[in-house]
Copies of this chain bind each other. A is one copy, B any other.
Amino acid sequence: MEQPFALIVGTRRDRSHTDERAAVPVTIRDVARASGVHISTVSRTFSAPHLVNPETRVRVLACAEDLGYRPNRAARALITGRTHNIGLIIADIANPFFPPLIKAAEGQARQRDYHVFVADTNEDPVAEEELVHALAKQVDGVLLCSPRMSNTLIEQLSREVPLVVINRQVAGLPCVMMDVGQGARAAVEHLVGLGHTAIALLSGPRGSWTSREIRRSAAAAARAGGAELTVLGPNPPTEHGGGALAEQVQRAGATAVLAYNDLMAIGLIEGLDALGVRVPQDVSVVGIDDIALSRLTRPKLTTVATPTAAAGRTAVDMLLQLETDAPRGPRGAGRDAAAGARRTTAQVMLQTELVIRDSTGGVPSSGSPGAERVGPGPHRLADPGRPTAATGGAVAS
């Protein structure tokens, strides 16, 4: 244990030979012996109570309770082929976007007597694939949240274990998505409505479906509104990733910014602040996700609210539904054509909503203070320290 601060404050001999720790694991057989029935009856008492005589049942339950019996899920899984576990693979657990989704998924799963296995990939596509493999055999299905890998790989993996994809569309697979496209459109329209014509888009990580959707919709909305959209990225979807773009935003002469997510938006505001650029007076910023944090920063963030909790619940439901439709039994089950061929894979789109707070405002008056600028038209920040022409970054198609 190589922690720098580690410091042993106390050690202690464990309980002596009378140690009751790790008490003999009590199995179904112990319960059977104690209650004078066969193990199969005990098994049925738990998994098919209606098949056993009420008297017997109470006796067995009493004995089980008494001995502290808990069915061994591994053994059960071995024969039934269902672990009652769900894997949830997410890009970065430290991103506040995910916890609500995780909580919702856990809650929904727990209600259905399932457990959720959460794993973090650090935004790494390779880790993602490995995790799916590792989880495949110990869960009944996997929720893939904001995957960064390729569509073909996802399809391939879906052959190994039932998959539900969150935040991405993959043909032929059950997906639950949030309509960030619509959200991005609303955000851009909001900005255009405020008079902005030079808008920057901070895109997300490479391989992000969400990022592509945002970009496409934002570009369309900007075009429709007569504004110019400068795309900056791809970027890591963190506050740091946002902060690092402050200068580029400034150089690009944008008066408004749409960020891939709130974290980046907040980081950007920080970065702009360090450059002496004020939000929303000098530059308007809008994020996406509406994480709790976006209500806590100053200025409070204008953002596109995504229904993360609903997405978590829905995904769990879809996965479980998928399981009941086409169980992958222990034996060569499921070859039943009637069940197999009639299955349909649903794709759900959850709506988003623009939440207007304090980080967006009108276009700053240019050059000479006092000159109100409202109408559209090309416009650069007066003098951000350097000659302004340069429209850095990529321009959306």
Contact = CB atoms under 8 A, between A and B. Distances in A.
Contacts of A137: 70-74
A381 B72 CA distance: 61
Interface string A5-47: 1111111111111011111110000000000000000000000
A375 interface: no
Question: Chain A interface residue count: which class?
Answer: 35 or more
A275 B4 CA distance: 43
A347 B266 contact: no
Interface stretch (A115-123, A211-219, A366-374): A115-123
A214 to B, nearest CB: 17
A310 B11 contact: no
Contacts of A17: 337, 340-341
Contacts of A99: 93-94, 99
A4 B158 CA distance: 28
A73 B138 contact: yes
A314 B4 CA distance: 11
Contacts of A16: 341
Given A22-B334, A297-B297, A12 B74 contact: no
B116 A119 contact: yes
Copies in the complex: 2
Contact of A14 (B78, B120, B340, B349): B340
B119 A350 contact: no
A326 interface: yes
A344 B314 contact: no
Nearest to A332: B24
B120 A346 contact: no
A12 B326 contact: no
Given A6-B348, A344-B12, A239 B292 contact: yes
B103 A93 contact: yes
A162 B340 CA distance: 43
Contacts of A138: 73-74, 85, 115
A343 interface: yes
A221 to B, nearest CB: 20
B102 A120 contact: yes
- Chain B CB count within 10 A is highest, among A20, A103, A118, A341, for A118
27 contacts: A3-B310, A5-B351, A6-B310, A6-B348, A7-B349, A8-B348, A10-B347, A12-B345, A14-B172, A14-B341, A21-B159, A21-B326, A22-B159, A22-B162, A22-B326, A70-B133, A74-B74, A74-B77, A74-B83, A75-B78, A85-B138, A93-B102, A94-B100, A115-B119, A115-B138, A117-B118, A239-B296
User: 7 tightest CB-CB pairs across the interface, nearest first?
Assistant: A5-B351, A94-B99, A118-B118, A22-B328, A298-B298, A14-B343, A74-B77
